[in-house]
Chain A
Amino acid sequence: MTGAGIAVIAVLVLLLFGTGFLLGRTARPVRTSDVGTPVEHATFETLHTASLAAPPLRTGLTEESARRSARGLRSLLGTDALCLTDRDRVLVWDGEGDHHGKDVMDHVGGLLASGRDTAFHSDCGDLDCPLRWAVAVPLTVDHRVLGTLVAYAPRESAVLARAAGEVARWVCVQLELAELDRSRTQLIEAEIKALRAQISPHFIFNSLAAIASFVRTDPERARELLLEFADFTRYSFRRHGEFTTLADELHSIDQYLALVRARFGERLSVTLQVAPEVLPVSLPFLCLQPLVENAVKHGLEGAAGLPRPQGPVRTGGTPIRITISALDAGAEAEVVIEDDGAGMEPERLRQILRGEGGASTGIGLLNVDERLRQVYGDGYGLVIETGVGAGMKITLRLPKYRAGVHGS
């Protein structure tokens, strides 16, 4: 019995180690036996070298990216030496004869201005130095010359000139992609900034006016409101971090509502339902506040017409009820913002979410929707249920964890 048992265990352990070993093996790249004809082989090699040199360049033309891509570029061209410059200095020298580096900038000066390929003789006086001739090609993005690529050879070579031109064009494509990446990030940042800017004018004006009305009658309340206002603006205008936590966002909404209530008094009743375990969930910064602002606007409008919240303070009138709930739903949190205000024609809402709503309306909704989709994927956009006179219910789902999303 005992012997048999030990044998069983031994076999099991061996099996497990075998599995692990096989798994470790498959992690390594497998060499194919069929490499094709020499021409095909050369093509593959070239493409492979090119693909290795590409990723560093995707970050733009810097000393670091130049250093990491230079070797690959030189082996593409098959020259003795290769040099990358930006507009002011040599970024990297790859290959032999780097004493030529100091006068490169003199040779490419004209090229940087004209943007045309140039070839020049580079005699350094050293008889053993193989670098006698060079071709310099510009690296242009959007008609701007960002830098140059200089390839050195022992003698004049039309083939090298042509190859250098092609490689430079390929490098330019990578740099353009880098530029594209950068402008995409800028666009997102600009959108967040636009959203911040959108909060400010009406709201700041109205809040200050409301606070002013309390200064004489209820100085203590005025002071509290001013502090709320300070906190709220500090949060909304903070510069760092693309993400925040649900707790912080709700806190900011609390301050926002306190300020709104200062203007509209008892007309506004807000109910908040929170499952406390979802409060640490990370989410894109200023994702809920615009939705609540939207709900308040709609509620106050009551009837159709453009929102004009900067109008005179209205007391009395129909009460507005807003419900905010944040509930636990497994690996996600479900946030619902509901108002019983004017609602909206579904078709009109569709227009807004397509970005055709016009300048003044629903930038908040569109912006939030886009940012959610961008961060979490298309399955996580806003779900809006509405009808004319039926209020509006906005539901959003936030995954509790998503790689790269860390609220601060």
Chain B
Amino acid sequence: MSTPGHPAAVAAVALVVLATVLVGGFGLRISRTTSDFYVASRTVRPRLNAAAISGEYLSAASFLGIAGLVLVHGPDMLWYPVGYTAGYLVLLVFVAAPLRRSGAYTLPDFAEGRLESQQVRRLVSVFVVGAGWVYLVPQLQGAGLTLKILTGAPGWLGDVLVASVVVVAVAAGGMRSITFVQVFQYWLKLTALLVPAVFLVLAWQGDGRPRVSFEEQISVFRADHPLYATYGLIVATFLGTMGLPHVVVRFYTSPNGRDARRTTVAVLALVGLFYLLPPVYGALGRLYAPELMHGGDADAAVLLLPARVIGGLGGDLLGALLAGGAFAAFLSTASGLTMAVAGVITQDVLPSRGVRHFRLATVLAIAVPLAGSLVISRVPVADAVGMAFAVSASSFCPLLVLGIWWRRLTPPGAIAGLLLGGGSALLSVAITVSGAVRPPGWPHALLAWPAVWSVPVGFLAMILVSLATPGRVPPGTNAAMTRFHLPEALTSGRGR
């Protein structure tokens, strides 16, 4: 395996890290005259916020993982980008505007506001932290892999590097405004994937356009129960997006429900645009880096391709661009998740004493997944992220959908649904990652893609227990429903 260990790649990574810290620390809106005071104090426009959400959302799984999966397993894996995008459609239709109107910043806030129960709030916090950690592990591992390919450094170095950058940026109060960081990261990631893709396709054309063949199937565990796995993936990604902690907090930035909807539409466009690119890398990887199919890290395909196809200085530079983009992916998702998890930890776990506790919580929020990423054996990054989606889909999706659309939801019902749906999904993920149940066979398939059964379990438990405890419907339900579903102008009584 030839490594594009060019200094340009290291420089690109360093540049991305530096730019992230700088934009985070100084990317505030600053006004010194009256005229731009108004502009500075205007809330974030949907398109800007959408770019920020997309920047935060497009993680290592999207940047590296999808191409790797397409390379190894062929076009069936296109369900990943489809699912990652379609999740926003479900979010748009069922959740976006009511969630914004609820005024909640985090999911525990939503649970408390809707169900008026501290118990539910605490339980939701546990799941937010759990899902966040499950999501953070593959981000850190992806960083380790990238750095290993770039420099030949030991695998743990990248994990530690990203974790420390996040701690320094977030905990030291450097991330004073995360919106512009994430916007910057989105465009950086898009550019980093788009420009090399253009060159690669041109090179492929110059090469006489060899046909990409997915005929050669190799025996991997995924072929075990492919249909079931695909459904598991579809359910998890379609329903899981709405509950991802770092996505939820970004909707708070929208000034009202209507803008939250518009933001989601723009996110659909931006994320959809991005996801056109990874499959290109996957297909070309099949052609030019076929050895990755048989062992080796398929996730590395994106990073290796420029050197393979183009080579020379041009290849090195494009490789550097990709490496920078990949690091942007790790950093943005990791910092967004860390901030969301740390926010929940400060609010619900540690007694709130201001900024110092937030720093402590940040360290805690990233230290656990860092330890996990170093201990746990590597799972393909897109699969690992899929597990976080499954946890979110089985716990937060029932809570959000029923909380927003069903008056008879009760706190005991919510607790039962979270424990049975989310708990079983979390447990399955833990068992899968620990390697206790190995492929092939149904047990592994059921545990690795739990969403197919855990989501219905979550919904059913929530509905049945709620129906069994009609006396526990929170007294403020009608008021909350009114606020969720009516435009702000009507509920606030403001005339303008």
Contacts and interface: CB of A to CB of B under 8 A. Distances in A.
Interface of A: 1-2, 4-6, 8-9, 12-13, 16-17, 19-20, 23-24, 27, 240-241, 245, 247, 250-251, 254, 257-258, 261, 269-277, 279-280, 282, 325, 327-332, 334, 379, 397, 400-401, 403, 405-408
Interface in B414-452: 415-416, 419-420, 423-424, 427, 437, 441-444, 446-447
B492 A16 contact: no
B254 interface: yes
Interface in B345-370: 346-347, 352-355, 358, 361
Nearest to B351: A379
A379 to B, nearest CB: 7
Given A20-B420, A277-B253, 16 more contacts: A1-B443, A5-B443, A240-B492, A254-B41, A258-B34, A272-B40, A274-B30, A276-B29, A276-B179, A277-B178, A327-B176, A328-B176, A331-B105, A334-B355, A401-B103, A408-B491
B88 to A, nearest CB: 19
B483 interface: yes
A251 B496 CA distance: 15
Smallest CB-CB A-B distances: 10 pairs: A5-B443, A408-B492, A275-B177, A250-B41, A400-B105, A401-B109, A331-B343, A401-B105, A20-B416, A277-B253
Contacts of A400: 105, 109, 252
Given A8-B443, A403-B112, A328 B41 contact: no
B415 A23 contact: yes
Contacts of A397: 354
A58 B31 CA distance: 50
19 contacts: A5-B444, A8-B437, A247-B255, A254-B38, A272-B29, A272-B40, A275-B179, A276-B177, A276-B179, A328-B176, A328-B178, A331-B343, A379-B353, A401-B103, A403-B116, A405-B103, A406-B103, A408-B491, A408-B494
Contacts, number: 178
B469 to A, nearest CB: 7
Interface in B24-75: 28-32, 34, 37-38, 40-44, 48
Given A16-B423, A379-B354, A406-B103, A328 B252 contact: no
Contacts of A379: 352-354
B315 to A, nearest CB: 39
B427 A408 contact: no
Residue among A27, A276, A327 facing the most chain B CB atoms (10 A cut-off)? A276
A2 B441 CA distance: 6
B173 interface: yes
A330 B177 contact: no
A282 B113 CA distance: 15
B388 interface: no
B44 A277 contact: yes
B104 interface: yes
B488 interface: yes
A274 B176 contact: no
Contacts of A24: 412, 416, 465, 468-469
B442 A6 contact: yes
A266 to B, nearest CB: 11
Nearest to A273: B28
Nearest to A228: B34
B416 A23 contact: yes
A273 B113 contact: no
A4 B415 CA distance: 30
Given A273-B28, A277-B252, A12 B424 contact: yes
